[in-house]
Chain A
């Protein structure tokens, strides 16, 4: 089984859900207002949405914005940490990949540079 949202009826916090819908590579994904994009992706049955250099899938790992495994493109902005960004109804999410064809080694990245990933 995959990650899921605690059903409203059995949630001890007594939350009230307001649904939202985003698209992920064109496919709709449903969530509720207040969720992070990672939460929406996980609870809609996606465990991996980005690929690493070898092509292996990656999703959420640290959950608090430290590991950068969960990066997605949101409404055209690349490299957004899905675990920290609140989902907004209508968000257009595109998945990213770092998988590179064999090529000459890339120049060393500068600290903080986040612009290496190709889609």
Chain B
């Protein structure tokens, strides 16, 4: 019987685990990523051209990652599409996943790339997240980076963004970024967590037994904290950057103490000379593909999934940060569950693996389990290293083993979700941050729409409907297509228009879906010439003659 064909979009921790589990369950897998190498942002690899002798030096869990990467990429049933963009998902109206539109065979944002389509039995979306940065005066100055940018440059190509750097925002991600900068030879002046000690302690301290399940993550964080201590870098809570200043580039920043709701305590401002500032207030999931597929969202912010990582759309699964910000171990567990289920692997504890079947003694999933044993190097991953499962060796014992392994996986996934809830409680975005905006503070970087323009649009009944405000202020209309300012503009609209309840403007216009900051039917830039060219024949559904590079 023809194996099921599963496409996995995104080859970070979640996507790679999904591919591995789907292969173990007997499926044929097409793994797609816009980067040259798998790893995503968490395991961002050095370029091959660097010929690094110790490429794992900068990573946690490198050995396990490297093993999983090799296993997936060399698997005879896996096609690896590197440097490939999914620029659209087309709903076909049938009871199956949307058609995947790809741009392949060319450098990033090049011209004349090949347009291809892919019809699959199941689709796993694992597109990850990017930093959310709240606006503040001067955040558009060169030398102000997202924390993720500093991390990507340091880990991914050994470029350090500055020599006197402040890392500010909220969440545990600030720590690895500071550690990376220190490792690369920067002087980190301080790390500023906007939440107060009370908020952080209450958030993490609640239900401490849940944290024990994340020992690997805890050890990793402790390591970062030790790097800060070793380098005498202060980690200050309840303080943040409220302004960046400089002539043509950041030269100094103003920091201030915050109340628990992130309102500024006047008189606590300090000026700090810097040559770079790295900021992250949290993460925005990359939702354009799930939204294009028609997946229902949870709280308007994350993809809603069931116990098997199924979204509301038949045949579409989601894993990793798009379902909740929970870090790499949780993403791996989710990915493995999603890949296994997408491949048609049995997801009930009762029976052996369904038609895709092949559970060998080695098991598709190790009983020892993966993420629970979560030491950074113990995260060998949900699926055994036994390689491709051998068809026809399904046994009762295998079934039991698989069921047990799946229970382990689900437990890690659930622990990951619990971790995500604690993370959100310990590092929330306070409501008082608009207090540090001025009328001329840019909110939309692309169009340079300032806070004053948004205040006036959202304060007026006639102009406050999302689409009207967008056209009137141009916020969200620029090249980034609201990826950066979208959530901020939506939040400001909800708050500034608070007095105007149930406005006509809030009702969707007839014939139009509700406006969402995540709706981008063209998910990645495509040149008009590429769009006009007829697509090459669909990627065949038979196993490929040759494996992709």
Q: What residues make up the interface of A, taking CB atoms closer than 8 Å to B? A: 1-6, 10-18, 32-36, 38-39, 42-43, 47-48, 52-54, 56-69, 71, 74, 77, 79-81, 83-86, 88, 108-109, 111-112, 114-117
Contact = CB atoms under 8 A, between A and B. Distances in A.
A63 B50 contact: no
Interface stretch (B203-211, B471-479, B490-498, B501-509): B471-479
Nearest to A43: B159
A19 to B, nearest CB: 11
A66 to B, nearest CB: 5
Given A63-B152, A86-B107, A112-B521, A15 B52 contact: yes
A111 to B, nearest CB: 5
B249 A48 contact: yes
Nearest to B88: A112
B53 A1 contact: no
Contact of B448 (A12, A32, A52): A52
B50 A58 contact: no
A16 B47 contact: no
Contacts, number: 199
Nearest to B163: A1
B149 A5 contact: no
Contacts of A47: 142-143, 249
Contact of A56 (B140, B152, B153, B522): B140
Contacts of B478: 68, 109, 116
B483 interface: yes
Closest 6 CB pairs of A and B: A63-B149, A112-B522, A34-B47, A14-B53, A34-B49, A68-B479
B483 A66 contact: yes
Given A57-B248, A67-B445, A111-B520, A11 B479 contact: no
Contacts of B157: 5, 34-36, 39
Given A1-B163, A43-B159, A65-B34, 6 more contacts: A56-B248, A59-B143, A61-B445, A62-B146, A64-B41, A112-B520
Contacts of B146: 61-63, 67
Interface string B145-157: 1101111111011
Contacts of B149: 60-64, 83
